[in-house]
Structure 1
Amino acid sequence: MSIVITGATGQLGRHVVEALLERNVPAGEIVAAGRSIEKLADFAARGVQVKAMDYADPDSVAAALKGARKVLLISGNAVGERVPQHRTVIEAAKAEGVGLIAYTSIANADTSEMKLAAEHQATEALLKEAGVPFALLRNGWYLENYTDQLPGALAQGAVAGSAGDGRISGASRADYAQAAAAVLVADDQAGRIYELGGDQAFTMTELAAEISAAAGKTIIYRDLPAQEYAGMLAGVGVPEAFAEILADSDLGIARGDLLVTAGDLRKLIGRPTTSLAEAVRSAASA
């Protein structure tokens, strides 16, 4: 009986596999499943089971989940196609009789009005309708969403967005992965809903200040109307439809959709979450 990590070739999935190994889960009981299994060769060399799995291929999903005891369903990255893909995994898990599906949803999914939340809301509904034991890991924003954009901010002398003074409870991918691992190794998780976010929420203006401090130069936050921000993103190569979703997400931040105060992430990982200052300093020195 195994713990299956879907989407294990992605950054979050890799962190989860590492977190399970750190928790002394036997490598042979972990299944790292994903499309590009050559990216998982290092895990295979450590004894982790590696299986090819494509959310759009029901046969590969069923094969990857064979013998599964628990499944971490990491939400797909094909925005607009995720609901049928997630349904495929849920149906295969139900057929296999798994003891738990943990799903990486979005913060405040039950109340969020962000367009990006819609597919997560639909997936949560699928889980309830399927009648399978499940836990919801409602992840907030990754700090990497911002630190990965550091070179552009430094070049432009600004970070841009449409978030106003909205507060973001960001944490690192590694933090969220540690939380997922904690849930996967624990008993009695069916029905649990975790609202996951960083200990200290921040605004975009505070993000700019942290970048300024780390880089030794002034970086400002430029707040733009959502349509102007979407146009700016499209102008630097972001697909137009996704640019609109990102701008809409910033409007959600302004409403408070990504503010998390439950403290669930800190409790699950047993330590303070990664701070914005830590993440920015690390990215700036890389």
Structure 2
Amino acid sequence: MIAVTGANGQLGRLVLKHLAKLTAQPVRALVRSPEKAADLASGQVAVVKADYDDSSTLPAALEGVERLLLISGSEVGKRVPQHKAVIDAAKAAGVRFIVYTSLLNVPQSSLLLGEEHKETEKLLSESGIAHAVLRNGWYVENFGGTISAALAHGAVAGASGDGKFSAAGREDYAEAAARIVSGSDLSTRALELGGSSAFTLGDLAAELSSQTGRDIPFNNLPDATYAGILVQAGLPEGFAKILADADRGASEGDLFTASTALEDLNGHPARSLKDFVAESLKANA
């Protein structure tokens, strides 16, 4: 049996969709509020309560599970104890294989976001359970707000300089996770995953300019200045700081990879910047 944590999230739902295509194995969708995820249930998928913050829900949720996809929690600052609770429960339940969604280049990453992933990867190594770490690059969907703001204000704002983003679509990462957790290779390994068509924010501005017929430049800012702009736009200060820090890290190569593992695994190109910009423009029309 396969179990997927965070199954009611954006990534989790896509993983379930791909598992339905890839395997006939029974799947357990682990969610905090089963009543909010009833639509996930099917002949293959059982919806089960599993709360990262309530370890008493985890033993029953993981009973009989052979393979577990641990989708990293969304609550920055709480993820290490949450992930530890799941890993400990998985070990007690006899789970044979864990797949974890980490962050690109984690061992060398300087990103604030990387710290909790580093700690979780360490927990997995210490668990003795075979595991595959999927070090996911940036989602192209992360640039949706950037595009909307650029259309409104006439410029792409950021702090990444000439740094490249090896971005791919959420769907691409979900397919990869489904393939790994349902596949025949249960060996311990780490994969650096990102789209092969890496781009800078300057490239994003150029693509926006091309598709809109407007002159939309890229304004590179100090990361503290960029964080302030994000706060003014309504983002919480802590989240704005994390996003600005990600741009700063991208300027130093933290969000770039030459690895083709994602596209090799899925067997097709990742979602492109050009296509995402076109879809974003339709959504903003």
Offset at 1:178?
0.6
Offset at 1:160?
1.1
Aligned to 1:4: 3
Deviation string for 1:157-184 (max 9, x for gaps)? 1221110000000000000001001101
Distance 2:115 2:108 in 1: 11
Greater displacement, 14-23 / 59-68: 59-68
- Is the 1:148–1:283 contact (alpha carbons within 8 Å) kept by the matching residues of 2? no
- 1:73 aligned partner, one-letter code: L
Offset at 1:122?
0.4
Offset at 1:148?
4.7
- 1:37 aligned partner, one-letter code: P
- 1:133 aligned partner, one-letter code: A
Q: Secondary structure at the match of 2:99?
A: strand
Pick from 70, 81, 85 the counterpart of residue 82 of structure 2. 85
Aligned to 1:279: 276
- Is the 2:18–2:175 contact (alpha carbons within 8 Å) kept by the matching residues of 1? yes
User: What is the aligned residue count?
Assistant: 283
Offset at 1:19?
0.7
Identity of aligned residues (%): 48
Offset at 1:47?
4.4
Aligned to 2:14: 15
Distance 2:63 2:12 in 1: 19
Distance 1:13 1:160, change over 3 A: same
Offset at 1:24?
3.8
Aligned to 2:201: 204
Runs of 4+ deviating beyond 4 Å: none
Distance 2:204 2:259 in 1: 22
Provide structure 2 residue ranges, at least 5 long, that are not aligned to the other structure: none
Q: Secondary structure at the match of 1:101?
A: strand
Deviation string for 1:160-216 (max 9, x for gaps)? 111000000000000000100110111223212110000110000101122223333
Distance 2:155 2:38 in 1: 39
Distance 1:42 1:75, change over 3 A: same
Cα root mean square deviation, aligned: 1.4
- 1:3 aligned partner, one-letter code: I
Pick from 37, 43, 52 the counterpart of residue 49 of structure 2. 52
Pick from 222, 235, 240 the counterpart of residue 237 of structure 2. 240
Pick from 172, 177, 190 the counterpart of residue 175 of structure 1. 172
Distance 1:192 1:22 in 2: 24
Pick from 95, 100, 115 the counterpart of residue 97 of structure 2. 100
Distance 1:241 1:147, change over 3 A: closer
Offset at 1:37?
2.7
Deviation string for 1:56-81 (max 9, x for gaps)? 11012222212111011011011011
- 1:14 aligned partner, one-letter code: R
Aligned to 1:268: 265
- 1:220 aligned partner, one-letter code: P
Greater displacement, 214-223 / 3-12: 214-223
Q: Secondary structure at the match of 2:113?
A: helix
Aligned to 2:130: 133
Greater displacement, 40-49 / 119-128: 40-49
Offset at 1:117?
0.3
Provide structure 1 residue ranges, at least 5 long, that are not aligned to the other structure: none
Distance 2:10 2:36 in 1: 11
Offset at 1:221?
1.4
Q: Secondary structure at the match of 2:74?
A: coil
Distance 2:6 2:114 in 1: 19
Aligned to 1:222: 219
Distance 1:202 1:152 in 2: 19
TM-score between the two structures when normalised by the length of structure 1: 0.95
Pick from 111, 114, 122 the counterpart of residue 111 of structure 2. 114
Offset at 1:219?
2.1
Q: Secondary structure at the match of 1:122?
A: helix
Distance 2:248 2:225 in 1: 13
TM-score between the two structures when normalised by the length of structure 2: 0.95
